[in-house]
C-alpha cells in the first residue's frame, strides 16, 4: 500500500534573506524547497521530490492567518492526502492535505480547510505546484501559505506514480511529516 513521507529540514524555517526585514516576496526566498515529499510502497521509496513545506507566504493578506510564527505550516506528525481534488484556481492536478494540525494547533479537516470558532472556513491546505498563470511558467521560488509546493514537472511525475498505483480522485493516502 502506498503512503507519503515528508521530510522537513529545520533550515527551511530560515527563509528570510534578511531576518531584520519584514516578510515579502523579495525577502522570503532563502532556503527554499529544501524539504522532500516521498511516495513509498510500504517502506520502499518509489519517488522523491523537493518541495516547500514551511509557510513562507506569511505577509500581506496572509500576515494575520496564524497565531504563532510559521503557524500555518503543517505540524510534524500524521496527515492524510485526499487525492486529485478540485483545482479551482490552481494549475494541474492537485491534492488536499487533511486530518492533521498546523503548528498553531488548528485542525485541518477532511475538506483541507480550517473552520474558525465563528464558522468561517480558512484557506485550503494542498499539494500543488508553483506555476504562475501570469507568466505561464513556474515561479523561481515556492510560496507556501501552509501547502506542500512542488515544481510543475515534479507534481506531474508525482501524479503519474499515483495513477500507476491506480489511485483515483478522492482516495485517501496516509502520510507522516518528520523534521530533521
Beta-carbon contacts of residue 18 (< 8 Å; ≥ 6 apart) = 27
- Between the alpha carbon of residue 144 and those of residues 1, 108, 162, 170, 176, the distances in Å are 29, 16, 23, 23, 19
Average pLDDT by stretches of 10, the chain with 180 residues: 97 96 92 98 96 89 70 96 96 97 93 82 90 96 96 98 98 97
Global pTM reads 0.94
CB proximity list for 44: less than 8 A, separation 6 or greater: none
Domains of the chain: 2-179 (2.40.440.10)
**Residue 170 near residue 80, CB atoms below 8 Å:** no
CB atoms closer than 10 angstroms to residue 111: 14
Beta bridge partners of 144: none
Is the Cβ–Cβ distance between 52 and 144 less than 8 Å?
Answer: yes
pLDDT, residue 64, reads 62
What local confidence, expressed as pLDDT, does residue 124 receive? 92
Amino acid at each position: 500500500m502506498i503512503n507519503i513521507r515528508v521530510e522537513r529540514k529545520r533550515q527551511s524555517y530560515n527563509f528570510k534573506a534578511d531576518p531584520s526585514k519584514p516578510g515579502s516576496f523579495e525577502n522570503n526566498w532563502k532556503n527554499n524547497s529544501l524539504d522532500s515529499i516521498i511516495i513509498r510502497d510500504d517502506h520502499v521509496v518509489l519517488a522523491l521530490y523537493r518541495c516547500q513545506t514551511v509557510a513562507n507566504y506569511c505577509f500581506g493578506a496572509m500576515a494575520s492567518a496564524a497565531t504563532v510564527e510559521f503557524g500555518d505550516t503543517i505540524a510534524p506528525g500524521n496527515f492524510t492526502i485526499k487525492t486529485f481534488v478540485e483545482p479551482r484556481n490552481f494549475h494541474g492536478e492537485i491534492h488536499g492535505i487533511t486530518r492533521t494540525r498546523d503548528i498553531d494547533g488548528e485542525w485541518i479537516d477532511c475538506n483541507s480547510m480550517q473552520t474558525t470558532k465563528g464558522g468561517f472556513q480558512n484557506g485550503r491546505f494542498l499539494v500543488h505546484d508553483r506555476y504562475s498563470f501570469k507568466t505561464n511558467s513556474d515561479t523561481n521560488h515556492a510560496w507556501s501559505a501552509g501547502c506542500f509546493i512542488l515544481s510543475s514537472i515534479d507534481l506531474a511525475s508525482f501524479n503519474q506514480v499515483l495513477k500507476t498505483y491506480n489511485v483515483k480522485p478522492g482516495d485517501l493516502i496516509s502520510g507522516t511529516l518528520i523534521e530533521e
